[in-house]
Amino acid sequence: MGNIKFWLWVIFMVAMANQWQRITGSGTARPDRCWDEERSALLELQANMMSSNGGHLGLWETYNEIGYSDCCSWYWVRVNSKTFKSCHSYLMSWRLTSLEYLDISFNRFEVPVSFNQFVNHSKLTYLSVGYNTLTTDTEFKNWIPNFQLKFFAIEGCVNLQKLPSFFHYQHNLIILAIDHNQLPGNFPTWLLENNTRLADLYARDNAFIGPLKLPSSRHLYLEQLDVSNNELSGCVPANISSAFLNLNILNMSLNLFEGPIPSDIGGFHFLALDLSHNFFSGGVPRDLAIGSPALFYLRLSNNKLTGQIFSKDVRPSLLFYLFLNGNSFEGPLPSNIFLKPLIILDASSNNFSGEIPRWIRDNTKLLQLDLSKNHLEGSIPVDICNLKLIQVLALTENKLSGPVPSCVSGLPLEHIHLDKNQLVGELDALFNILSLKTLDLGYNSFTGNIPHTIGSLSNLNFLLLKNNQLQGEIPTQIGLLNKLSVMDFSFNKLYGPLLPCLGNLIQAENDAETGSSYYHATTREAWLDFLSWISSARNYHISYGIDLSSNRLAGEIPIELGNLSKIYALNLAHNHFVRRIPGTFSNLHDIESLDLSYNSLNGRIPVGLLELYSLAIFSVAYNNLSGAVPPSKAQFSTFDKSSYEGNPLLCGYPLDNECSSTKSSDTSNDGSGDSTGFVDTESFYVGFVVSYGSILLGIVAALGFNPYWRTAGFRLIEELMLNSYYFLLDNVVTPIKNRW
């Protein structure tokens, strides 16, 4: 967490650098006269700070080319190394009356919420106290400060219930950041009214409610306004553009706004606009793009918008990021959303229809294209191969048909999602894209074998081929994919043995890296939706799972699968596996779902499975298993008879048939077949055939060697035949005739 905080601070400081230079008018330090009182105060502060290792800080003295330079030559102090255990009252009671810049963010300091200990800092203009703990103090509750801040940041502070009262006396603020505090109540419009030169206001991740009220007079300087992730509601004021004449970046996402987007929003000269995750309805204002020729970021995701996106003749020339997903746009994909500068285009989860337009070939800078969950039909155009930089191609849940163009093998794709379409053909081209990390082709009609070139996809993390028409054996080259996390080949026609090399697959060490890559390359919603689907629909966590169910795989289950100690889900149901359940499955300590049902497994259920304390889903139903089910302990106490049904030789709770009194249900068994009691199914049938075969051969031999026995035997057979004949005649045939 320390590193994360540090880099958050670095990013924030870089973003504020230009604004601070505008505030100070210069990026150079001014020489200050060194006062003994100031030197004494700084050294007193240093002496009372302790680092995380329990030691005191080093000397605050430096040397330069002209000789000795002590701490009094500084006109600002930044304390943000995140290493201090404590800070006494010295922090706020410095006698540094010339201090202009103070940054104590990202520490563990306890800062008085009134800030009255800054009462003597008349020259203070920059103050950052974010990510500390605020303490309640009662003295000087309504003190009037002697300073006028130009920059103030109070982000992520614990216990902050309202803005400090001294804010009401600040009138020169240019940058104000009050993010991540969960501040309640109405949006503080008075901050804008008090600070008429405020340029940037960041108020995201709070708990502001009610409507967004505008200041009573025009605000001429506000350029950036971020009120995202609050609970603001109602309609956006119709005159918002006249209230903020110079606003160019507006983020109102993740609120409860409703109604139409104000028509005069086109009066802004936006650089970036984010209205996502609200309840806006109606159309997009036709002048939105006309009034903002420099617009480079537009996000309208997850609303209820309909109609045209841009006017027919409007083509924003600088739009790099366009997010339209999660709305109700319909009709053919409009040509003017396929803009040459686009880097990301997300039009998923709408009602677009028709074919993917061929003019997509002009989007040569596109990194991500997401047209999932629409009603698109036709084939994937070969023109898509002109997107030489594309990394993410998502066309999930459409009505696309035909083969995937073979030329995609030359694209730098990392994530391909083509599932739930009607695509056909073989997979060779897709398995030659060496940069692939995610490949989802499920619910199509792909045919042929899984290509042997799969072994060259060394970065592959998710491989989902469910519900196709694939056949043949699983290639041994799959054992080379040591970053594979999720593999789903279920509902195909694969046959042959289960490869022991699957037990050598390890949990991908860079799951987080793949997730982060996909997160940044795509929309946040797409990634979270993918994780949710993997977790809920497939019983998978993001970590590791294998599903080979509903195929024609045969042979024994390799004991090497017990090496998959980090696997979360293993599904081998509906195949033709034989012999015993490997005792090595007791090593699958993290497994939560294990399904071996509908096979031909025999022998006992290994009692070692009782050690799988995370197991939540378990089924061995409809096999030929025998003996007692594992004792009702730990996770096995949660499984009912449906987990074991279809095995007539199994006994014990929760099944209805009890085990023999000579059996001990607690007998340890590792699946090797050494224990006594119920014979397994294979031994039973062999013994049955041998025993009755021996009896039959004995009878034949006796009749052949002894004439007397042979004569008596034939007479007995003749008598039995006559008795049977007359019995049927008297009791069956004659009554039937009498009825007719």
Predicted confidence (pLDDT) per residue in 212-227, tens digit: 999 988 888 999 999 9
Percent of the chain with pLDDT over 70: 72
**Closest-CA residue to 672 (of 612, 616, 627, 719):** 627
| Cα gap 716→720, rounded to integer Å | 6
SS3 of 583-619: the string is: HHHHHCCCCCEEECCCCEEEECCCHHHHHCCCCCEEE
Residue length of the chain: 740
Q: Is the confidence at residue 31, as pLDDT, over 60? A: no
Beta bridge partners of 322: 298, 345
> What value does the mean pLDDT of the chain take?
78
pLDDT at 83 over 60: no
Report residue 532's pLDDT band, with 50, 70 and 90 as the boundaries. low
The least confident of 495-504, 517-526, 596-605 is 517-526
pLDDT band per the 50, 70, 90 thresholds, residue 739: low
pLDDT given for residue 315 in this prediction: 73
Q: What pLDDT, in 10s, does the model give residues 456-465?
A: 999 998 999 9
Torsion angle in degrees (nearest 10) through CA of 577, 598, 488, 611: -80
Determine the pLDDT at residue 156: 86
Could you read off the pLDDT of 160-183 as tens digits, one per residue?
Answer: 888 888 888 889 999 999 999 888
Closest by alpha carbon to 128, among 249, 18, 20? 20
Would you state the pLDDT for residue 636? 86
For 316-343, the pLDDT digits (tens) are: 778 899 999 999 999 999 888 888 889 9
pLDDT of 733 reads 65
Task: Say whether pLDDT at 16 is over 80.
Answer: no
Pick the residue with more confidence: 675 or 152?
152
pLDDT of residue 230: 95
Q: Please indicate whether residue 617 or residue 698 has the higher confidence score (pLDDT).
A: 617
What pLDDT is recorded for position 77?
54
Instruction: Give the pLDDT confidence score for residue 687 in this predicted structure.
Output: 67
Question: Please, which pLDDT band fits residue 519 given cuts at 50, 70 and 90?
Answer: very low
Residues ≥6 apart with Cβ < 8 Å to 687: 679
SS3 of residue 728 by DSSP: helix
Check residue 312 and give its pLDDT. 73
Position 187 pLDDT exceeds 70: yes
Is pLDDT above 80 for 33? no
What confidence tier does 63 reach under pLDDT thresholds 50, 70, 90? very low
Q: CA angle at residue 158 from 154 to 161, to 5 degrees?
A: 80
> How confident is the model at residue 697, as a pLDDT?
75
Name the DSSP class of 219.
B
Residue 576 confidence class, pLDDT cut points 50, 70, 90: very high
Closest residue by Cα to residue 295 from 333, 332, 247: 247
Q: Which CATH number is associated with domain 35-79+95-181?
A: 3.80.10
More confident residue, 390 or 66: 390
Give the model's pLDDT for residue 494.
95
pLDDT for residue 274? 94
More confident residue, 280 or 697: 280
Residue 468: which pLDDT band, with cuts at 50, 70 and 90?
Answer: very high
Q: How far apart are CA 369 and CA 383, in angstroms?
A: 13
Cα(404)–Cα(428) distance, integer angstroms: 10
Helices 681-705 and 707-728, axial angle in degrees (round to 10): 110
Lowest mean pLDDT among 45-54, 482-491, 582-591: 45-54
Neighbours of 512 (CB within 10 A): 11
What is the reported pLDDT for 140?
52
- As to burial, measured by CB atoms within 10 angstroms (0-12 exposed, 13-18 middle, 19+ buried), residue 634 is middle
pLDDT at residue number 490: 93
Tell me how far the alpha carbon of residue 303 is from its chain's centroid: 22
Reading the block at residue 473, the tokens are: 């054996």
**Cα 133 from Cα 323, distance rounded (Å):** 38
Position 737, amino acid: K
Q: Which pLDDT value is given to residue 229?
A: 95
Binned at pLDDT 50, 70 and 90, residue 726 comes out as low
Percent of the chain whose pLDDT exceeds 90: 40
The band of 680, judged by pLDDT with boundaries at 50, 70 and 90, is: low
Instruction: At 427, give phi and psi (nearest 5°).
Output: -105, 5
Task: Enter the CATH code of domain 545-651.
Answer: 3.80.10.10
User: What integer pLDDT is reported at residue 44 of this predicted model?
Assistant: 56
Token pair in block for residue 687: 């013994």
Structure-token pair, residue 298? 């537009």
Q: How many CB atoms lie within 10 A of CB 400?
A: 23
Give the DSSP per-residue string, 43-96. Answer: HHHHHT-B-TTSPBP---EEEETTEEEEGGG-SEEE---S--S---GGGT----
pLDDT level of residue 729 (50, 70, 90 thresholds): low
Q: How confident is the model at residue 64 (pLDDT cuts 50, 70, 90)?
A: very low
- pLDDT reported for residue 42: 57
Please compute the mean of the pLDDT values over residues 102-122 and round it to a whole number.
Answer: 77
Q: pLDDT tens digits for 367-382?
A: 999 999 999 999 999 9
Provide the 8-state DSSP code for 174.
S
Stretch among 108-117, 477-486, 632-641, 663-672 having the lowest mean pLDDT: 663-672
3-state helix, strand, coil in the chain (%, to 5): 30, 20, 50
Which pLDDT score is estimated for 316? 76
131, pLDDT greater than 80: yes
pLDDT for residue 123: 84
The confidence score (pLDDT) of residue 686 equals 64
Q: Phi and psi (nearest 5°) for 726?
A: -70, -30
Give residue 614's pLDDT.
87
d(CA 737, CA 735) in angstroms, rounded, equals 5
Residue 707 has pLDDT above 80, yes or no: no
What average pLDDT does this structure show over 15-28?
46
Burial of 6 (0-12, 13-18, 19+ CB in 10 A): middle
